[in-house]
Amino acid sequence: MPADDAPERAPTPTLRPVAPGLEARLGHRIDVLDHGFIRVIDYMGDDAAVVQAARVSYGKGTKAVREDRGLIRYLMRHRHTTPFEMCELKLHVKLPIFVARQWIRHRMASVNEASARYSVLDREFYLPRPEDLATQSRDNKQGRGEALSAEAAAEVLRLLEDDALRVHRTYTRLMDEHQLARELARMDLGLNTYTQWYWKIDLHNLLHFLALRMDAHAQWEIRAYADQIGALVADWVPLCWEAFRDYRLGALTLSRGELDVLRAMLRGEAPDPEAAGLSPREWRALRAALGLDA
């Protein structure tokens, strides 16, 4: 089945829970980056499945939606995890290899990746947009700093594209002219080469993935995928997504020292972050989160 086509399926009756918002997305390609995509292959469960598991009951019961929403918010607020594990999502993802190597760090998923031992990889590689090219950050060892000038960005993109094309030519030449095994020829390919996989994960671990990868500190390329997956989750389990957005994405967790400082400020006292055990970096982060430096 082509990656950009929704599956041709005749509607069939089912007794399992159906999430209308995600049903409409099944099989449809969502473009990410320049050649990447996400497709929903299948899913299991909905908001009611989380509630059902928490109540250890059969069927959807007679509870009102308002009560279901309250229970889901309680579960999210108090970090009860197993009810959210009752829902699962399976995606087909096409992504650059360097993004895949970040992604695979989230180990609580089932993954089946395309093998370059069995098939020849397409001549597709990731090239950033000029506005996404930046220098190394001076205060963040794994982040970007100032954007490159238009001239520098153009030169960087030229170098990246020239290298990627040259490497892929060598890759195909090794196999065609020298009859080198595919499993050996692939070692010359760059990290911006695209790969594909099927990725299945339960809702609890998916939300943990999104909390980290939708964060502003995550690398932009993996964040682009996470943002699209977040939109899918919002269509799939809207009550869970609302609670996740309120208690995880838009929330702030405070340490004991940070609470001491905040309580002092609320009493009208001058805060003493050093006495509370906060490092200068922690104090700066807390002030920024509370909007005190705005």
Catalytic residues: 213
> Which DSSP symbol is given to 246?
I
**Residue type (1 letter), 225:** Y
**Residue located via tokens 């397409």:** 122
Place of tokens 């997956």: 229
Which tokens sit at 266? 């609320």
CA distance 16 to 38: 24
- Number of neighbours of residue 207 by Cβ within 10 angstroms: 23
Report which of 94, 81, 103 is spatially closest to residue 41, judged by C-alpha positions.
Answer: 94
Give the separation between CA 22 and CA 40, rounded to whole angstroms. 8
For residues 234 and 275, give the distance between their C-alpha atoms in angstroms, rounded to a whole number. 43
Distance between CA atoms of residues 58 and 257, nearest Å = 45
Of 49, 51, 91, nearest in space to 72 by CA: 51
Q: What number of residues does the chain have? A: 294
Q: Write the DSSP string, 59-110.
A: SS-S--HHHHHHHHHHHHHTT--GGGGG-EEEEEEEEEHHHHHHHTT--SSE
